[in-house]
Structure 1
């Protein structure tokens, strides 16, 4: 089985609609694909309806989280799988974070405008296609104006990586894990060694998250070196965490393809047997 447990659609910052994502999963030869849009479940229904025979969808989300250490906080992402989408406390947090993303996008547009860059809020929302607004949508506006050549270039420090970047709302990491578990899901720490995204969590912090109910950790990822992957696997063994792998596919917003990294079938079976909030959906 080929299993990719981390992919995005236009419900957040991917460029493929949920239906097109399913088509791409078929083309990539996947048996299982997880839809993990940022802070939303909006794409679940459309993706499930588009499933062909032989392909299974794992409903999920990627939660914006933050670990608060003794001296400073570190941003992190938590992959939540097979949770109850009607669990009210978790739904309320997802709504709060999406609203924060909208407000952040408006403020970032204002910063760009103050420097003479004529990006507009309606344009950015149009790129989001009704989904969760994120920096990639602002990046596409910069590409359209020829200010940068690619979405990746737009994330450089002089653009959306630092100069025009503003903080967004997050869920405290321990609260996020608790909410996912209460909703019957399983929580996996996404790309924990991706230093290109910012500061990484120390191993001691990950141990604390494990003790609080973290289910797994993503080792095989495009932003991890071979040494990173080996380190994560060793840490997972020490902490009793499951190890996952995935592409973190975003369509044309990133160069990585679906199925570039995959999860062991035994880990997937463990995930399905652990989570109780929702079930995988298989095409008829």
Structure 2
């Protein structure tokens, strides 16, 4: 458990706290609204381990945190070809995220010398799998090149590669890997037909193996395309006691414009 969920447990009886500690495999953060429950998706085999999604919920049932856990052995026994592990959301999902795709990229991808190392592209999709799978290339699907209006684009983000069954990827020009540093982690946006459709922490395999514990801000556009609880941060965490990693979207705040 992390510090913010433990703070919340202090207000409960010892018996209730022990029950919650036994039930949860994901922690909470100190700046969150007190959360009362956690729901899980089904397990998916990844490498020699497994992964599953979760949602930490506020007292009113609204999402406080969205993410997934995966076991340490998920980083071994990975395939020798690019593989997307689709993680279904919990059955009571009320978040803007429809599903998570934990994509292992064996040799990385462009730009050359930047992202061409083994890594995970973690797509938090705001559209359904069928909608995602219907996205084509620039040659077959002109909607992939329709950009969101300027007020919705986060500062310092520029459009980049188009990928079928994904969308157009937007990169942060201030990211360390574009300024002479080795790629470890970054945050990507994805769009299609003028709308942002996914949020993407992208994380190098070697960096994950260092067992990091970091929480980082997510750049925001001046305006939002839909009224929603929008994550302001993302976290990459190693939970030593459970031998698990967590990648999460945190600090969800209601944005109406």
| Structure-1-length-normalised TM-score | 0.32
Q: TM-score if structure 2 supplies the norm length?
A: 0.35
Q: Which has the higher helix share?
A: 1
Q: In proportion to residue count, which structure has more strand? A: 2
